[in-house]
Amino acid sequence: MTRQKRSHHKLKRAVAPYLYLSPSLLIIGLLMLLPMVTVIAYSFQNSAVLRRDPSFAGLKHYQAIFDDPVFWASLWHTLYFTCMSVIFHMTIGMVFALMLNSDRINPTLRNILRVLYILPWLFTAVIIAVIWRLLLEPNGVVNSILMQIGIIGSKVEWFSSPETALHAVTFANIWAGYPLFMVSLLAGLQGIPKDFYEAADIDGAKAYQKLIFITIPQLMPIIISISLLDFIWTMQVFPLIWITTGGGPIYSTEVLSTYTYKLAFSSYNLSQASASAVVILLISLGLTLFYIRYQKAR
Amino acid sequence: MRKRHTPKDRLITVALHAALAAGLFFAAFPIYWMLSSSFKSNTEIFALPPTILPKAFTLEAYAAILGDPVKLRFFFNSYFVAGAVTVLTVLIALLAAYGFSRFNFRGKGSLNTLIISTQTIPPITLLIPFFGLVVSYGIFDTYVALILTYLVFTLPYAILLMTGYLNTLPRDLDEAVAVDGGTSWTALWRVIVPISLPGIVATSVYTFLLCWNEFLFALTLTKSTSMRTVPIGIQLLMGQHAFEWNQMMAMSVLGSLPLLLIYLVAQRYFLAGMTAGSVK
């Protein structure tokens, strides 16, 4: 190869990766990073989107949000909904994974059950919402079973009374989300070296000791990273709540996403909605940084 | 090592199976109830005591859905948008993944971090600026608006998934092409793509599912009934027909078919797509 040709080749090697990446970077830049800048700009404008020449509003919209008791209620509901969901996703996912991993059940049964336990994961949030509305109808099957067993005395309006609505949507979300943990933990369990358990058997360890001193520490990296991701994603849940309760009754299931959506598309206060969206973005970014740091530290 | 068939041991096995049965009820009953309700008449759904199997098995709900062109349009829209986004995503992600996997370049690490972090951007945050953009470019209530929007959400994950797959392929293959005087472009299409099918399938499955399930943007960026997708269609059904539960369940079953089929046919790819990023 001549020198000229070689340097030409080198140049090509240097430019090539950027060419391959350019369509992706263009899309992510124009349709993700730019909109993020835009929404921040909106939050400082009066009548954002609606007017062509919006005036500068300063921190007015943030002030309005922080003065709104519904915002604080939404924040609290989001926290409750998210924490309960993550805790129970993890617990149920762990219990199911351990049960399926036990050598006391036969392999065929294990394979069938694994498929069936994953089922809730295969359904869209909208469909999950509709299923739970049917199940939890005042005249529905859950009430009728609970009344027959004698747990409740009269029909409960799970989604339409302020005392139960938040618990009901949280329960539906718990049901819908545990398979992510289950699948990941099952994969993790299969990755734990068998000699760990054999060594423990020789030392005469009990089953629960093996669980606490081998299984759980070995699964910890998976538990932490899935919990963080689950937390970030659950915090953003919209359709499940929108379709089951719409944030009601009387704001009792209002979460940050429904609060923001209503500000934007029911009250058409897009500036204030942008401020609220920026607050959600900041919370997510904080958690994401934490997640990336954790992943890099591993 | 384990002593078997002691009474205590047998008791544990029985208890485990009881717990498995309880778990099965928890996981599957709601879905069974959807399925069985879709074959009932509306009055039977709320019969007291509830009928576990449909007493008067009927396909009237399915007939009502499949005989209504408005509802068939929802399905067409969902398939069309999800299909188009899948094709575009796979193509664009494949190129980016090739760049990440086969080249070293300035800024690689930070670009990778950028792509990982975009996965967690809350959709509701992007919704308002997207709405502004879509309205000002006159593409409100069109397929283009939905396809562009979905592309942004599917791309980051798809790139990571494809990069992960390409990293598992030996580099000797593309080096052989280079020795023969071929460019990296030739190596990509002649050598890499033909053996990347598993990675491409996993990426397609993931992308298709994400689009099929999307609700928030479809709700906000479309308006006319003829542009609505299945999730919005189900919501509309709930509003319009004052609780035709059997039809809602039938539509939910039909709307879940693609996911169930993909899961049954390509379980491995499905799980790879759904857990991508989270396990690594």
State the burial class of residue A197 (Cβ atoms within 10 Å of its Cβ: 0-12, 13-18, 19+).
middle
Cβ A175 vs Cβ B26: under 8 Å: yes
In a domain, B124, yes or no: yes
Distance CA A145, CA A158 (A): 14
Q: B65 in a domain, yes or no?
A: yes
The pLDDT, as a whole number, for residue B140 is: 93
Domain holding A96, by residue range, is 60-119+165-297
Residue B277 has pLDDT above 50, yes or no: no
- The answer to whether residue A267 is domain-embedded is yes
Out of B28, B37, B216, whose CB is closest to A116? Answer: B28
**In sequence order, which residues have a C-beta less than 8 Å from that of residue B279 and are 6 or more positions away?**
A184, A187, A222
Q: What are the tokens at A95?
A: 């219990």
- Asked if the structure places residue A2 within a domain, the reply is no
Q: Which pLDDT tens digit goes with each residue over B75-122?
A: 999 999 999 999 999 999 999 999 999 888 888 888 888 888 887 789
> Does one domain contain both B21 and B105?
no
pLDDT digits 0-9 by tens, B13-35? 999 999 999 999 999 999 999 99
In a domain, A38, yes or no: no
What pLDDT is recorded for position B48? 75
Please tell me the least confidently modeled range out of A164-173, A192-201, A285-294, B176-185: B176-185
Task: Enumerate residues 176 to 215 of chain B having a beta carbon within 8 A of any beta carbon in chain A.
Answer: 183-184, 212-213, 215
Across chain A, mean pLDDT equals 89
B204 class by beta-carbon count within 10 Å (0-12 exposed, 13-18 middle, 19+ buried): buried
B24 at the A interface (CB within 8 A)? Answer: yes
**Helix (H) and strand (E) counts for chain B?**
15, 0
Within a domain: B35: no
Confidence of residue B268 (pLDDT cuts 50, 70, 90): confident
Tell me which residue of A61, A41, A177 sits closest to A119, measured CA to CA: A177
In chain B, % helix, strand, coil (3-state, to 5) comes to 75, 0, 25
Contacts of B151 in chain A (CB under 8 A): 27, 31
Residue B52: CB partners within 8 Å, gap ≥ 6?
Answer: B36
B126 with B227, same domain: the answer is yes
Helix axes B197-213, B267-275, angle to 10 degrees: 70
Pairwise CA distance, residues B44 & B47, whole Å = 5
What pairs with residue A45 in β-bridges? A56
Asked if B218 and B86 sit in the same domain, the reply is: yes
Mean pLDDT (whole number) for A231-255: 91
Q: What is the mean pLDDT of residues A87-111?
A: 93
- Looking at residues A117-123, what average pLDDT do you find? 90
Asked whether residue B9 falls in the same domain as residue B135, the answer is no
Q: What is the pLDDT of residues B205-242, one digit of tens each?
A: 889 988 999 999 999 999 998 999 999 999 988 877 66
| Residue A8 maps to a domain | no
Q: Kindly report the CATH number assigned to the domain that includes residue A258.
A: 1.10.3720.10
Give the domain range for residue B165: 61-275
Answer whether residue A86 is part of any domain: yes
Give Cβ neighbours of residue B185 (< 8 Å, ≥ 6 apart): none
In-domain check, residue B34: no
Cβ of A175 under 8 Å from any chain B Cβ? yes
Q: Please state the domain count of chain B.
A: 2
Which of the two residues, B271 and A166, has the higher pLDDT score? A166
CATH number of the domain encompassing residue B250: 1.10.3720.10
Q: Give contacts of A133 with chain B, Cβ < 8 Å.
A: 238
Q: Are residues B192 and B81 in the same domain?
A: yes
Distance of CA B227 to the CA centre of its chain: 20
pTM value is 0.89
Question: For chain B, what is the mean pLDDT?
Answer: 87
- Is-contact A207 A102, C-beta < 8 A? no
Coil/strand/helix, residue A266:
coil
> In chain B, what percentage of residues exceed pLDDT 70?
94
Cβ neighbours of B263 in A, within 8 Å: 118, 122
Asked whether residue B242 is assigned to any structural domain, the reply reads yes
Q: Domain check: are B142 and B264 in the same one?
A: yes
Q: Are residues B2 and B139 in the same domain?
A: no
More confident residue, A38 or B280: A38
The reply to whether A158 falls in a domain is no
Position A146 in a domain: no
d(CA A91, CA A172): 15
How much is the pLDDT for B264? 83
Q: Are residues B6 and B128 in the same domain?
A: no
> A132-181, pLDDT tens digit by residue?
999 998 888 898 889 888 888 888 889 989 889 999 999 999 999 999 99
Specify the number of domains making up chain A: 1
Q: Has residue B278 got a pLDDT over 80?
A: no
Distance CA B204, CA B196 (A): 12
Going by C-alpha positions, the residue among A165, A152, A158 that lies closest to residue A138 is: A158
Q: Are residues B255 and B201 in the same domain?
A: yes
